[in-house]
């Protein structure tokens, strides 16, 4: 359960950084102080947020490639940051794809709506297909 909370918090931090343009370290420190997470989950949260922020250009390019008729900057803040987190996780390879997609869809249902959940599921499914092809070529 704490990994789920860590993932939700990572999404919320990314949302806050995107919307309010707050300082990364201050935002992380503030949110981590409020949570009671095991060290492994704290590490996951920190690495996920830092990974998305550090690789945001590449992550957004990936999303733009699969979000037909949608520019990343025109997506809602919630949907965009759920997708950023999930896309980064898919490429990091530390968590099973099905878990990542399921968690992203659940975040969309909780913080956005059913249409967003379908949209997110579709984009992530396309990304998984490309990752599978790329790994089979190696």
Q: What does pTM read for this prediction?
A: 0.92
Q: Output the pLDDT for position 132.
A: 66
Domain boundaries, the chain: 2-137
Three-class secondary structure of residue 58 per DSSP: helix
Q: Output the pLDDT for position 91.
A: 86
pLDDT tens per residue, range 80-129: 999 999 999 998 877 899 999 999 999 999 999 889 999 999 999 999 98
Match domain 2-137 to its CATH number in 3.40.220.10, 1.10.940.10, 2.40.10.10, 3.40.50.300: 1.10.940.10
Q: Output the pLDDT for position 107.
A: 97
C-alpha of 73 from chain center: 15
Query: Which is more confidently placed, 32 or 101?
Result: 101
In sequence order, which residues have a C-beta less than 8 Å from that of residue 99 and are 6 or more positions away? none
Nearest CA to 108 among 97, 99, 117, 100? 117
Dihedral over alpha carbons 49, 54, 56, 58 (to 10 degrees): -130
């Amino acid at each position: 359960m704490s990994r789920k909370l860590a993932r939700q918090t990572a999404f919320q931090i990314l949302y806050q950084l995107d919307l309010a343009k707050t300082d990364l370290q201050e935002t992380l420190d503030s949110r981590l102080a409020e949570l009671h997470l095991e060290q492994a989950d704290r590490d996951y949260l920190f690495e996920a947020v830092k990974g998305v922020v550090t690789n945001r250009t590449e992550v957004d390019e990936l999303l733009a490639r699969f979000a037909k008729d949608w520019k990343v900057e025109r997506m809602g803040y919630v949907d965009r940051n759920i997708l950023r987190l999930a896309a980064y996780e898919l490429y990091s390879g530390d968590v099973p794809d099905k878990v990542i997609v399921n968690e992203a869809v659940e975040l969309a249902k909780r913080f956005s709506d059913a249409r967003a959940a379908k949209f997110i599921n579709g984009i992530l499914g396309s990304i998984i297909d490309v990752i599978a092809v790329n790994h089979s070529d190696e």
